[in-house]
Structure 1
Amino acid sequence: MISQVFILSSKGDHLIYKDFRGEADKDAVSVFFEMVTALSGDQPPVVMSHKDLNFIHVRQGGLYWVASTKTNASPFTVIEFLNRLAALTKDYCGSLCEKSVRMNFALIYELLDEMVDYGYIQTTSTDILKNFIQTEAVTSKPFSLFDLSNVGLFGAETQQSKVAPSTAATRPIMSHRSEQGGKNEIFVDVVERLSVVIGSNGVLMKADVEGEIRVKCYLPTCSEMRIGLNEEFSIGRSQLRGYGTAVRVDECSFHQAVKLDEFDTYRILKVCPSQGEQTLMQYQLSDELPCAPPFRLFPTVEKDYGSRLLIFLKLRCDLPPKSTALNVSVTVPVPKGSLSLSQELSSPDQTAELQLKNKAILWSIPRFPGGAQLSALFKVEVPSLSSASLLEVGPVSMSFELPKQTCTGLQIRFLRLSPTQPGMSQRWVRYVTHSDSYTIRI
């Protein structure tokens, strides 16, 4: 049983506040934020208590989504409710950020009124809620077919000549059709997160991949959707199949709405998609990487004259030549006494800064073409520099995004809708790999 639901910005601003039972004070919002900010570390506990009031929260879109309760409610149920509330907000408002919540506060209050009655959860289904929600979403930027700022992120192998608008997959699911140009669209994302540890000798020590297939549907009606995966897709080593290159994962789980009667034989997923976003399939591959790691680092650390530390980094991108890594960040820990930084970078679009609070150098590369090699020379002023200070350098951590790439090799063979949609309908497929944890020891 939920007493209150509120949404806070990262600075503690009250964006949404809904009291369902009147049994908790409104200052509970301030109490929660004081408790969160008083804790050390980036990830405070999901469940916290103050006197007889329990707080359960999740962090999504840079916001705190919080529920309070005075009863012994199941934390897992409340967490699932908060995640669904965030997902529904994204579906109905188009994006999940502080600005969209502020602009659509009336819509979010209407969602809460329909989802919860006197603290009891009624429904979180998009299909049911769309029959009752009347408020239109307010978007800060209208949908435009001519906005091509993210050219190349979308498009299946058979649709390379097409480019999906950058705002197409982030518009509200409930909006006037005249504003959207009458477009019936469905987006399928194959998203993978890569965790890698590379030793100082360049040997791959650990490699884990977690992936999922997500669908966001803007179709008014669709009785069935069929998604064909690689015919060589196998789960575990005992199921290796086909004559082509095997695409293997260790574990795989499916949404309860997915029908698997054709999966074992033809590797086809069948589902009746509802409007909004759904995760159809999740999979994991542990301690193995079918392809080479996307980046290779060649570091040199040495003591210069006086109190200067020299760090020379040569970074190579081992992606195919036509591929590009985006938003590459390289973080290099430096000795605690570091005061200033001067750098020599191999191209003008790169930037570097010394973060005194974190005692690390942040090297940023907006675009990194496959097969290219970049370098950086960092000169760090460290008072009382000693040989022991050299041991404080590293390990190096990286974050990046690899559009049109999957580490496992999972591909969508086809995407078919039944019955055939009236008028013009678009089907978009995107492949993207994010770094979850990419560590290179020096």
Structure 2
Amino acid sequence: MPQVPLFLPLPFWCSSLTWCPWSVRGDGGPDLVDTFCRRIAMLPAGQAPVFMQARPGLHFAHVRQAGLYFVATVLPSTSPFIAVEFLNRLVTLLKDYCGTLNEKTVSLNFALIYEVLDELLDYGYIQTTAPEVLRNFIQVEPVLSQHFSLLDLNTVGLFGADTQQSKIAPSSAAARPALSLRGEQVSQPEIFLDVVERLVVTIAANGTPMKTDIQGELRLKSFFAGCSEMRIGLTEEFCVGKTELRGYGTAVRVDECSFHSSVKLDEFERSRILRVTPSQGELTVMQYQVADDIPGALPFHLFPTITREPSGRIQVYLKLRCDLSPKSHAVNVHVHLPVPKATVSFSQELSSPEQTATLQATTKSVEWVVPRIQGGSQLSALFKLEVPGLSRAGLRELGPANLTFELPAYTCSGLQVRFLRFAVPQPSLPHRWVRYVTHSDAYVIRLRAG
């Protein structure tokens, strides 16, 4: 990394915009934290730019991970892409040192993160981001925090898929830091390969899918220092682009695919095998994207029925159907439904006792929460909204509905890992785990009202 000044603070924000700033240079003014909070709060949801002007002659560069904002202020003469690259490497390092990354982890490991930043930067100049160099200087022990989320792939007890060389991962194994401190050696070396997919869907009011995209990653997390070359075998029918066809089974097709610079691809074209020598820590081996051509059915369908009464009451009946296989299920399902701003109260009738629904006064939306839903089943909810003086324009404020959910042990693209093998025998063979998860925070269903 070149030595580039990242002028002033590297603060952390959680999703509620609480903050913990680290001042590197101290000459940017005390109001920058509040300025960034105001700029982010004013932006539409999901459309925050990476770069924003802090004030004349100074800019914000930020990345967002696990609901946290990692921010640097840069001068106009500084390459903003170097700032973003540094922030991404910082996020990876903190995951390696803390095990998981969330608001609670940051608060518990304030001293450790401060020490990492102190070694990374010298008066605003980047010194190193190499884990093998930093390991010699970081002395603070991490404080572990259990945070339940399938997307983290760290604290889940039983999910994944058996392959020829892997089993389902226990929860306690991946929750610890990947980088051992003070020369500590883990008693049982392990390697995790996570297939993570993000599903983006927009469905029209008539039920027709308007947009269906998959953004996927293969993340390799190694707790094994001194690991030799590893061979990762993907689905043999994996093909890139619409013209390439491979094998005799059902093809797994992606539109775009990119690999980490350390991955060797000499066997990929013929056998769909990736060769990589993982260092201790986390590495994104491959990224891929599927646009507008998901091979299977969409995981959820929402059937809304909206009735407007003369008294000003609106009845919204929602039927949520999970179109996964009965062997699969979804967890942490949230249905976010904007309602007219004039809504003063609501009542609810839910189809099962474990569900909950609340009217959020600040955002004027109904939040319907389903902890778990099995594939092939359906749930329903009836909401009665009191909206005095409801007009046709106010009725149009109802919707669209947005679903967020997680699908453990499931990939929408169909991508699977055939095996994880070492090219040469290891003195102590580490355990290898393969895990799958699909999540979505942009599953939008438009409603027809009025």
1:3 and 2:4 matched: no
Structure 1 letter corresponding to 2:7: S
Cα deviation per residue 1:112-157 (whole Å; 9 max; x = unaligned)? 3332334332321223332443333233569xxxxx9733233434
CA separation of 1:163/1:407 partners in 2, compared to 1, >3 Å: closer, same or farther?
A: closer
- From 180, 184, 189, the counterpart of 2:189: 184
1:34 and 2:35 matched: yes
Structure 2 letter corresponding to 1:40: M
Structure 1 letter corresponding to 2:191: I
CA contact (8 A) 2:356 2:368 kept: yes
Corresponding residue number in structure 1 for 2:107: 102
Corresponding residue number in structure 2 for 1:256: 261
> 4-13 vs 115-124, which deviates more?
4-13
Output the TM-score relative to the length of structure 1.
Answer: 0.89
Q: Distance in 2 between matches of 1:66 and 1:221?
A: 33
Structure 1 letter corresponding to 2:249: G
What is the SS of the residue equivalent to 1:6? coil
Output aligned runs, 1:167-316, within 5 Å. 167-175=172-180, 182-304=187-309, 306-316=311-321
Q: Distance in 2 between matches of 1:101 and 1:377?
A: 40
Corresponding residue number in structure 2 for 1:156: 162
> 253-262 vs 195-204, which deviates more?
195-204
Q: Please list every run of 5 or more consecutive structure 2 residues that lacks an aligned counterpart in the other structure.
A: 148-153
Output aligned runs, 1:110-121, within 5 Å. 110-121=115-126
Q: Distance in 1 between matches of 2:351 and 2:185?
A: 44
> 413-422 vs 283-292, which deviates more?
413-422
CA separation of 1:180/1:33 partners in 2, compared to 1, >3 Å: closer, same or farther?
A: farther
Q: Distance in 2 between matches of 1:249 and 1:179?
A: 41
Q: Distance in 1 between matches of 2:308 and 2:211?
A: 31
Q: Distance in 2 between matches of 1:389 and 1:249?
A: 42
Q: Distance in 2 between matches of 1:436 and 1:13?
A: 22
CA separation of 1:70/1:312 partners in 2, compared to 1, >3 Å: closer, same or farther?
A: closer
CA contact (8 A) 1:211 1:282 kept: yes
Q: Please list every run of 5 or more consecutive structure 1 residues that lacks an aligned counterpart in the other structure.
A: 143-147
What is the SS of the residue equivalent to 1:320? coil
Q: Distance in 2 between matches of 1:105 and 1:2?
A: 20
Q: Distance in 1 between matches of 2:19 and 2:418?
A: 46
- From 85, 88, 94, the counterpart of 1:83: 88
Cα deviation per residue 1:35-79 (whole Å; 9 max; x = unaligned)? 432551253663323254443333334433232344611111011
Corresponding residue number in structure 1 for 2:397: 392
Structure 1 letter corresponding to 2:207: G
CA contact (8 A) 1:198 1:205 kept: yes
Superposition deviation, residue 223 in structure 1: 1.5
Q: Distance in 2 between matches of 1:186 and 1:72?
A: 41
CA contact (8 A) 2:178 2:221 kept: no
CA separation of 1:58/1:387 partners in 2, compared to 1, >3 Å: closer, same or farther?
A: closer
CA separation of 1:361/1:105 partners in 2, compared to 1, >3 Å: closer, same or farther?
A: closer
Aligned residues: 432
What is the SS of the residue equivalent to 1:319? coil
What is the SS of the residue equivalent to 1:298? strand
Superposition deviation, residue 433 in structure 1: 0.7
1:439 and 2:444 matched: yes
Structure 1 letter corresponding to 2:342: G
CA contact (8 A) 1:257 1:271 kept: yes
CA separation of 1:13/1:384 partners in 2, compared to 1, >3 Å: closer, same or farther?
A: closer
> 69-78 vs 345-354, which deviates more?
69-78
CA contact (8 A) 2:138 2:181 kept: no
Q: Distance in 1 between matches of 2:102 and 2:50?
A: 22
CA contact (8 A) 1:337 1:382 kept: yes
CA contact (8 A) 1:222 1:418 kept: no
Instruction: Indicate the RMSD between aligned Cα atoms, in angstroms.
Output: 2.7
Cα deviation per residue 1:216-250 (whole Å; 9 max; x = unaligned)? 11012211111000110000122111100011011
Structure 2 letter corresponding to 1:7: P
Structure 1 letter corresponding to 2:321: R
Output aligned runs, 1:117-136, within 5 Å. 117-136=122-141
Corresponding residue number in structure 1 for 2:381: 376
Q: Distance in 2 between matches of 1:140 and 1:45?
A: 29
CA contact (8 A) 1:235 1:250 kept: yes
CA contact (8 A) 1:299 1:313 kept: yes
Q: Distance in 1 between matches of 2:185 and 2:207?
A: 50
Q: Distance in 2 between matches of 1:14 and 1:197?
A: 33
What is the SS of the residue equivalent to 2:42? coil
Superposition deviation, residue 322 in structure 1: 1.0
CA separation of 1:61/1:214 partners in 2, compared to 1, >3 Å: closer, same or farther?
A: same
Superposition deviation, residue 388 in structure 1: 5.3
CA contact (8 A) 2:229 2:423 kept: yes
CA contact (8 A) 2:193 2:433 kept: yes
CA contact (8 A) 2:139 2:181 kept: no
Q: Distance in 2 between matches of 1:353 and 1:369?
A: 23
Output the TM-score relative to the length of structure 2.
Answer: 0.88
> 308-317 vs 150-159, which deviates more?
150-159
Corresponding residue number in structure 1 for 2:150: none
CA contact (8 A) 2:13 2:69 kept: yes
CA contact (8 A) 1:206 1:288 kept: no
1:428 and 2:428 matched: no
Corresponding residue number in structure 2 for 1:145: none
Structure 1 letter corresponding to 2:231: R
Q: Distance in 2 between matches of 1:360 and 1:242?
A: 48
CA contact (8 A) 2:13 2:70 kept: no
